[in-house]
Structure 1
């Protein structure tokens, strides 16, 4: 196996109300940090949702490490792929601590010590026991990032992760992205309209 086999996307397609948003998308991804760019309406977020298993492709599939298939082994796929949406995190009745505890039961390589490092980096300690619905949008977002970063998945999908981050959190987040860029065996795929502030391993620009 080579690193080019980490994520292989094959002809993924998806349409909303007969409008094809993703049309026969094929791409191979190495490990590292990939910045997925492009204007509004080209299907950046839809691609993340397809790869996360949040949307079912109408055609095509994808494989991880040449073994795990998005369509034929969806449970194994979800255990290897984490996703943070640009929307508020689900399970708003849970606290950040409860959210990680719940997710840790689903992801076999979840690491509590790593989560605690991200809690410190994002300044979340004062909010650990408060329900997410009571927290600001920025704090909810940081709680979702901290949890996802600690799950130990092969692929981490992030939609506008820099949104609503304060300066201290941006410093921590950019350190996380720099670490991802140097990873030999994991992929961080980021959709962002903002400059990342670090050098990605690769930029992938989608066109209308």
Structure 2
């Protein structure tokens, strides 16, 4: 099921790294559902997610989520966004269990039953007590995505989801993404170079090759 009301509105977004323009005048209006940002290497997929997460600041433009303007009210906006960068080592000293236990206080729509389902679906049972630095790339990514899917966040951002995943986990992810995105008023936005087979994509944004 897709919510046809606009959940996330982006207008005239511009961002450049020194000597490299990444986005210029970018815009999109996303209803609830599962959305894909696709494109070739260095086309701005990850940068867009980091802008939406508030990790980077746009040089121009606006980002509005459920009527909350990111620039005008960043704290309220941030409470409705889930973002965990798999390339960051900021969580590495924590175990999966310890990190997950912190998240219900931040995300009011946190679904503990969904987390249990994702632990099973991603075969994470033996890893929940390990620090993240001790996990493989794929297992760490699964820990982060299990939390993302269980968060219930109105804007859930997932970058390059299948990197390091085994085939059964990738197949489970496609089903889990579609299920999470069916929650009313929720956008699950994935950045990847192509659609994941089996996922029910409602919107596809192509940044080009």
TM norm structure 2: 0.91
Inter-CA distance 86–94: structure 2 relative to 1 (3 Å threshold): closer
Aligned in 2, Cα 1:130/1:136: closer, same or farther, shift over 3 Å? same
Counterpart CA distance in 2 for 1:195 and 1:86 is 20
- 1:124-172 CA deviation, whole Å, 9 max, x = no partner? 1111111111111111110001111111101111111111111221222
User: 1:84 deviation in Å?
Assistant: 3.7
Deviates more, 1:102-111 or 1:73-82: 102-111
How many aligned positions are there?
A: 206
Looking at structure 1, the residues matched to 92 and 86 of structure 2 have their Cα atoms a distance apart, in angstroms, of 15
Kept after mapping to 2: 8 A contact 1:89/1:141:
no
Structure 1 unaligned spans of 5+: none
Deviates more, 1:128-137 or 1:198-207: 198-207
1:163/1:124 Cα in 2 relative to 1: closer, same or farther (>3 Å)?
Answer: same
Cα distance in 1, alignment partners of residues 89 and 5 from structure 2:
31
Question: Who is 1:128 aligned against?
Answer: 128
Looking at structure 1, the residues matched to 192 and 171 of structure 2 have their Cα atoms a distance apart, in angstroms, of 16
Q: Contact 1:119 / 1:146 at 8 angstroms: preserved in 2?
A: yes
Structure 1 residues 144-163: aligned runs within 5 Å: 144-163=144-163
Rounded to whole Å, the distance in 2 between the matches of 1:131 and 1:79 is: 26
SS of the equivalent of 1:176 reads helix
Structure 2 counterpart of 1:171: 171
Give, in angstroms, the shift of residue 178 of structure 1.
2.5
Please give the alpha-carbon distance, in whole angstroms, between the structure 2 residues aligned to 1:61 and 1:89: 29
Q: What is the distance in 2 between the residues matched to 1:42 and 1:108?
A: 34
Aligned to 1:71: 71
The reply to whether residue 20 of structure 1 matches residue 43 of structure 2 is no
| Whole-angstrom distance in 2 between the partners of 1:132 and 1:174 | 23
Over residues 89-123 of structure 1, what are the superposed CA-to-partner deviations in whole Å (9 max), with x where a residue is unaligned? 63100001111112222222222222111111111
Gaps of 5+ in 2: none
Residue 181 of structure 1 deviates from its aligned partner by: 5.2
* TM-score, scaled relative to structure 1: 0.91
Q: Deviations over 1:171-202 (max 9, x none)?
A: 22111123245444211111112440124112
